[in-house]
């Protein structure tokens, strides 16, 4: 049987260091505790899905190296039997990407990424498709990937991407589900009306557009233009790394179960809340624990 989800994009080994504050040119930091975790936005979503028992294929946009970082990553990933790594390749001519994650006491973090800016070695291609129903893909290199997205959609695959903020992107209709961050949107335009921007993007794409806002309300516009507001359950953040990745995986999980979009958003909120209460972006909660937290996530309002 084919896997349910194909995740294409990035992977890295996260080195999480706990510090009292972020460094500045005049103020250094000392860390007294560190740990290593699975990282990379798309890989984090894949691991969440696999942890919930969803058969998931991981395809990388680059090779892993023949180094200790890759050895550690593959050992960590082996804990998830639902995660298919048969498309992951290693090369002696590269270095496995890694990320230094500086986490301050309120859970916010700063990232130091190595190799993320390099061009993809392996482009998204329909040749990767082996019958999966959903494709979660990275935004990076989007302009050169629309032909591949179109080919996936022609095979009936639902395409999912994040961090696409403006309705003048070309070929938006090749993306079925767009998941954005309100804080990122405000960082680009402090005066932006988040709800209006979400509706404008949905009208341009014709798909589902979801805008998260940290621990604030999630605003969703469905394919028919109907909208909803869901309030996540408030939790104390320890490390916010991977919250959005868990949310993205949670949306796909809910839709795979045949749930309506609001319940998929509620599950995704629960998944994100679980991630921020722990160190690292790897999901450690069971399906039953996630269901229990999902019950605390409420629908605030909806409209046509």
Output the pLDDT for position 113: 84
Q: ∠ CA(221), CA(286), CA(130), 5° rounding?
A: 65
Q: Is the pLDDT of residue 262 over 80?
A: yes
- Could you read off the pLDDT of 65-87 as tens digits, one per residue? 999 999 999 999 999 999 999 99
Domain extents in the chain: 5-22+31-303
Q: What is the pLDDT of residues 24-43, one digit of tens each?
A: 998 998 888 888 999 889 99
- Determine the CATH number of domain 5-22+31-303: 3.40.1190.20
| 7-19 tens-digit pLDDT | 999 899 999 898 9
Q: Nearest 5°: phi and psi at 271? A: -60, -45
Distances (CA, A) of 134 to 51, 55, 130, 156, 177: 17, 11, 11, 9, 10
> Can you read off the two tokens belonging to residue 86?
């048969």
**Full-model pTM:** 0.92
């Amino acid at each position: 049987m084919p896997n349910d989800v194909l995740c294409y994009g990035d992977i890295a080994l996260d080195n999480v260091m706990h510090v009292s504050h972020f460094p500045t040119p005049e103020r250094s930091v000392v860390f007294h505790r560190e740990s290593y975790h699975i990282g990379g936005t798309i890989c984090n979503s894949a691991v969440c899905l696999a942890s919930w028992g969803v058969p998931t294929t991981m395809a990388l946009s680059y090779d892993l190296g023949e180094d200790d970082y890759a050895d550690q990553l593959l050992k960590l990933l082996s804990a998830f039997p639902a995660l298919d790594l048969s498309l992951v390749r290693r090369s002696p001519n590269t270095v496995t990407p890694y990320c230094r994650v500086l986490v301050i006491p309120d859970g916010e973090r700063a990232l130091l990424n190595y190799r993320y800016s390099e061009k993809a070695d392996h482009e998204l291609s329909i040749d990767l498709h082996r019958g999966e129903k959903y494709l979660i893909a990275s935004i990076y290199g989007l302009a050169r990937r629309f032909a591949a997205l179109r080919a996936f959609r022609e095979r009936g695959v639902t395409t999912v991407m994040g961090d696409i903020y403006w309705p003048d992107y070309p070929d938006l209709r090749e993306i079925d589900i767009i998941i954005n961050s309100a804080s990122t949107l405000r960082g680009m335009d402090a005066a932006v009306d988040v709800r209006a921007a979400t509706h404008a993007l949905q009208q341009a794409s014709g798909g589902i557009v979801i805008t998260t806002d940290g621990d604030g309300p999630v605003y969703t516009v469905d394919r028919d233009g109907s909208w909803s507001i869901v309030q996540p359950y408030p939790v104390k953040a320890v490390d916010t790394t991977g919250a959005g990745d868990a949310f993205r995986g949670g949306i796909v999980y809910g839709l795979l179960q045949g749930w309506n979009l609001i319940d998929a958003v509620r599950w995704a909120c629960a998944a994100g809340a679980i991630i921020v209460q722990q160190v690292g972006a790897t999901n450690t909660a069971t399906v039953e624990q996630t269901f229990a937290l999902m019950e605390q996530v409420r629908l605030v309002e909806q409209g046509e």
